[in-house]
Amino acid sequence: MPPFSRRVHDLPHLGVGVSTEFGAARAPGALDVFALAASHPSRAAFLELGVELEKGLDDDARRWIAQGRPTTYHFLDVNLHDADDFDDEWLAGVNALVAASRPAWVCGDAGAWHFGRRDRGHMLLLPPILVDDAASALARGVARLREATGREVLPENPPGAAFVGDLHLLDFFARVAERADTGLLLDVAHLAMYQHVTGRDALDGLDAFPLERVVEIHVAGGERRQTSDGFSYVEDSHGTAVLDATWRILERVVQGASNLKAVIFECERNPNDSVDAGFDRIEATLAGRRW
Amino acid sequence: MDFRRVERAALLLHFDGGWATRILDGDVLGLTGAEKAMLRAVDRRAFRADPERAARAAAVIVAELPVAIAVAGVPRLLSFFRADAFVDVIVGRAPLVVGAADFLDSAPARIEGAVGRARRRRHVDVGDIVVAPHVAAALVPDGALAQWTAARQSLGDDAVAAIGAGRRIAWPAFDDAEAAGVLVTGDAANPAVGPCTAALARLLHRLEDGVDLAAFRAVACAEGCDDDAEADALLADLVADGLLRRG
């Protein structure tokens, strides 16, 4: 297999898009992706399908696919660092949906989507343990899923309030990228959460991070919260109010992400008339880039 | 440094702050000093940023074990997330619902736990002879199945809402805890719960993980078959009835 530095040139430039998951579009006040595609085609250039295999694709996702529009496949149900999670039944199901949706690539949060086995009530999303061995295990999972699906697999830095381990989150994902020889999905809102709860500046660690590995970026609103005993954290609300720290990270990353192919504004829970400001700023940040 | 062990510890801390003392000062999960130090380096309050995590998981359990929870009470259910049984679920990759049923260990929990096991059982090659998909059995006291059936009906269609509103069910005392069998059949969406002999329930229970023919004969003879020929005839009957599968 050619190295990532060559493979990445075969990946399509998708531009700016939005994300969805099962039933999201039918929730009250949710984004209408088809209306967005009609009114602002460049803001819905592709749809990221958040997929939990047990639920599959909803009617809106199927309609999008049937129209031949571009997609990416965002898994919501595999712990990439856990070899026991790659059972044959799950892999067969993923391959069937990949064949049906023809995504440009597969991506998803590289954390614990569930504890123990995949089952009702087991779902959660916790960040990985930030140690070297976990980076190696995660890299093996990325390579395994890439081989099984025949698609590039872009691990994403997950959200969280409690990050355990002796590595900086960005150092951890740099090691994953190198060992799996893969591209990355950098969620700049999730990174802002990490920097906040660990008391770091928003841009801490980015100078040493291999930005050329970043193929996709997620931008999303977040809300500062405090636990009843005073711990300050950021909730991954996916609202339209994007933190300043998130914008700062986006601007810095875009400068160096020479292989950037796609940016998602994760605003699926918000009505169409509330998302313009976010898209405006993303477009301004990306202005001048060749897609 | 075993990151999987640290991950399990972090998971427990996310569910209940009470684990901190047992994990960091005790020997739950057997963490090394370095692993404990790594967890201690994180502000403990960070693990409690989402205090509803256990409640959400509990809601799933209530939906599948409604009578058991209406009998035991929600506080008893929430204590599951502070119990070693929850660790067993995580480490053993067992279904949460089944683990909770085992933890509650009451007659309604055995019945509803059997439904949960049947719902999750799929065809896997685990031995020459194995319980068929969507089949499971439980042992309960005489009269418990009828009591459970009435209790389940009394909770109505939205049992979760009823229990959330504080509905409790009084469960009578029974004598022999394993006098009768309960058999779950049907499919995952529509399980059928009915009576069976205690011998059949014990037999099926011991075959859930799959056995070879010799082991089956031994179990069958322990449950009343006179010899291997009678055990083989029983096997043929149970396969024909769709309760067992042969590999």
pLDDT at A163: 98
Distances from the Cα of B44 to the Cα of A190, B5, B8, B24, B94, angstroms: 20, 18, 15, 11, 27
pLDDT at residue A290 greater than cutoff 80: no
Judging contacts by C-beta atoms under 8 Å, the chain A residues touching residue B51 are 227
What residues contact B81, with CB distance under 8 A and at least 6 apart?
B15, B16, B54, B57, B58
Give the separation between CA A172 and CA B44, rounded to whole angstroms: 22
pLDDT digits (tens, 9 = 90+) for B14-24: 999 899 999 99
Can you tell me the mean pLDDT for B143-161? 96
pLDDT at residue A274 greater than cutoff 90: yes
- Whether A57 maps to a domain, the answer reads yes
Q: Which domain holds residue A245?
A: 4-286
Model confidence at A291, in pLDDT bands (50, 70, 90)? low
pLDDT digits (tens, 9 = 90+) for A178-207: 999 999 999 999 999 999 999 999 999 999
Numbers of helices and strands, H then E, in chain A? 9, 12
Can you tell me the mean pLDDT for A258-282? 97
Percent of chain A with pLDDT over 70: 99
Judging contacts by C-beta atoms under 8 Å, the chain B residues touching residue A229 are 45, 48
pLDDT at B187: 85
- Count of domains for chain A: 1
- Whether A291 maps to a domain, the answer reads no
Find, among A180, A157, A160, the residue nearest to A253 by Cα.
A157
Q: Does A61 touch chain B (CB under 8 A)?
A: no
- Whether A70 maps to a domain, the answer reads yes
- Whether A209 maps to a domain, the answer reads yes
Can you tell me the mean pLDDT for A65-70? 97
- Whether A199 maps to a domain, the answer reads yes
pLDDT digits (tens, 9 = 90+) for B206-221: 999 899 999 999 999 9
Burial class (CB in 10 A: 0-12, 13-18, 19+), B92: exposed
Are the C-beta atoms of residues A228 and A271 closer than 8 Å to each other?
no
pTM of the prediction? 0.93
Q: Does A161 touch chain B (CB under 8 A)?
A: yes
Q: How far is B220 from chain A (nearest CA, A)?
A: 32
Alpha helices in B41-106 (DSSP H): 53-64, 66-72, 74-79, 84-92, 96-104
Mutate to test the interface with B, among A119, A169, A172 (most CBs of B within 10 A): A119
- Whether A258 maps to a domain, the answer reads yes
CATH number for position A229: 3.20.20.150
